[in-house]
Chain A
Amino acid sequence: MESNGVMKHAASAWAFQLGPLARTGNTMPPKDDPELQKLRKELDDMMKKIKEEQDKVADKTLQDICGDMADAPKVRLTTKKLLKGHINKVNSVHFSGDSRHAVTGSLDGKLIIWDTWTGNKVQVIPLRSSWVMSVAFAPSGNYVACGGMDNMCTIYDLNNRDSTGAAKIVRELLGYEGFLSSCRFLDDKTIITGSGDMKICLWDLEAGKRSLEFEAHSGDVVSISLSPDSKTYITGSVDKSCRLWDLRDEKPKQTFFGHTSDVNSVCFHPSGYAFATGSEDKTSRMFDIRSDQNVATYCPPNSTSGFTSCGLSFSGRYVLCGSDDSSVHIWDTLKNQHNGCLTGHENRITSLSVAGNGMAVATCSWDNNVRVWV
């Protein structure tokens, strides 16, 4: 059942409600033994204490600190390039580090590498599986990665062709027990993936081996965002939470609650101390890392649709969210004001990528098109 652009398996969202037991097929509730009760109380007390400590530091609000700022100018982005080429839904888009090229993945079974300055297709890569859900461009521009319902992540070398003339597959990362939902290159040698089996994997691409593999959430991991210094990352999950991780750890640093449905997308703030989200609950939020809490909730004027994707502008002043309603909603993050919508797509927007230089935003949609907004 496709409830949003990430094509989540309906059963997994339902199974989450019953927790890990449902995933193992055991739907019997656990017997209430003293140790179980003790553990439940310990966790409950811990959560209460954390909430108390968060409330203690909530001495001011966003309105208190930013209320006197001038309103942010109206964002004037229009479609400068309408990239046509895919013949089925496009599920994922990601800019290269050069702020010029972008990769898209579509259910037509192709990856397309676009030169967004000219609109030209630089490469078309046929995929072995058409069920692609996530794509990533290495910051260097040398590699792209993709994966989806094939339960694997495939790495293509854009500078080397195989005998058919398509970009060569240099790695097939296997062993996932669920769909690949998100991936991000740290550099040419390292990729981090999130998957429907609730795990995060860190891969050493030279050795072709996992450096780390661990259960990260109590539901599908659907989004990953690297910090500006690449030392930490945020994950978003259908379990409604977001987590902050140090790159080499298997335990999260912090868990952020607030959303009332799947967190579909996370995006690190350029300052490195906050992150924005887009959720099925029809809101976008800003979480502050050092204060360990939700500092703003951004609601559209008519809350009809979930957000599938999000990005922040170069300074962090604007958050942009791709929506099931076919538009991109924009907010002033500091004054919590809806700044407008980018309209043009004719169906759900599945993914959004802000170029590193902040000058362009790429979106892709179930309408088979890719738009570059400048």
Chain B
Amino acid sequence: MDPSVVAAMDKDALKKQIENMKYQATMERWPLSKSIAAMREYVEENEKSDPLIHAPDKKNNPWAEKGKCIIM
């Protein structure tokens, strides 16, 4: 937090900010080794369904240009 912001706070603002940070001051944190690994796992599991990685067939893509012929 910007020191200039804290310096300008009145008592009420300071009390409020202290209240706001209480949960965070005592929360349990995951080590980055665990949380980043979990993020990687989630992404890898879902990549096969990510159209930006595995583009769907043209026929399943509603934005793809349609062919010129249609079956009447």
Chain B nearest Cβ from A32, distance in angstroms: 10
Known interface pairs A20-B13, A57-B31, A252-B20. Does A374 touch B37 (Cβ–Cβ under 8 Å)? Answer: no
Residue of B nearest to A115 (CB): B62
Q: What are the residues of chain B within 8 A of A174 when measuring CB–CB?
A: none
Contact pick for B52, options A19, A36, A77, CB 8 Å? A77
A16 CA / B2 CA spacing, docked (Å): 11
A238 to chain B, nearest CB (A): 12
A304 to B50, CA, bound (A): 30
Q: How far is the CA of A220 from the CA of B21 in the complex (A)?
A: 19
Q: Are the CB atoms of B63 and A317 closer together than 8 Å?
A: no
Is there a chain B Cβ closer than 8 Å to A270's Cβ? yes
Residues A274 and B14 in contact, CB atoms below 8 Å apart:
no
Interface size class of B (residues with CB under 8 A): 35 or more
A75/B35 in contact, CB under 8 A: no
User: Does B1 make an interface contact (CB < 8 A)?
Assistant: yes
The stretch of A5-13, A47-55, A141-149 in contact with B is: A47-55
Chain A hits for B24, CB < 8 A: 50, 253-255, 292
The residue in chain A whose Cβ has the minimal distance to the Cβ of B17 is A43
Q: Is B32 an interface residue (CB 8 A)?
A: yes
Chain A residues 58 to 78 lying within 8 A of chain B, measured CB to CB, are: 58-62, 64-66, 69, 72-73, 75-77
Interchain CB contact under 8 A, B29 and A57:
yes
Judge whether B51 and A80 touch: CB under 8 Å: no
Contact status B18-A334, CB under 8 Å: no
Does B8 touch A at the CB level, under 8 Å?
A: yes
Asked whether A240 is an interface residue with its Cβ less than 8 Å from the other chain, the reply is yes
B50 touches A317 (CB 8 A): yes
Q: Select one of A19, A58, A273 contacting B5, CB under 8 A.
A: A19
Can you list 26 contacts pairing A with B, beta carbon distance less than 8 Å? A17-B4, A17-B5, A19-B5, A19-B9, A42-B18, A43-B17, A46-B21, A50-B24, A58-B32, A61-B36, A65-B33, A66-B36, A77-B52, A271-B42, A273-B35, A288-B36, A290-B29, A291-B34, A313-B51, A313-B52, A315-B53, A316-B43, A317-B47, A317-B50, A358-B51, A359-B51
- Which residue numbers of A lie inside 8 Å of B, CB to CB? 16-22, 29-30, 35-36, 39-40, 42-44, 46-47, 49-50, 53-54, 56-62, 64-66, 69, 72-73, 75-77, 80-81, 100, 116-117, 215, 218, 239-241, 251-255, 257, 269-271, 273-274, 288, 290-293, 295, 313-318, 333-334, 357-360, 372, 374
Given pairs A271-B39, A273-B39, A293-B32, 8 additional interface contacts (CB within 8 A): A20-B8, A20-B10, A22-B8, A239-B5, A251-B20, A271-B42, A290-B35, A358-B49
Those 3 A-B pairs whose CB atoms lie nearest each other, nearest first? A19-B8, A315-B46, A315-B50
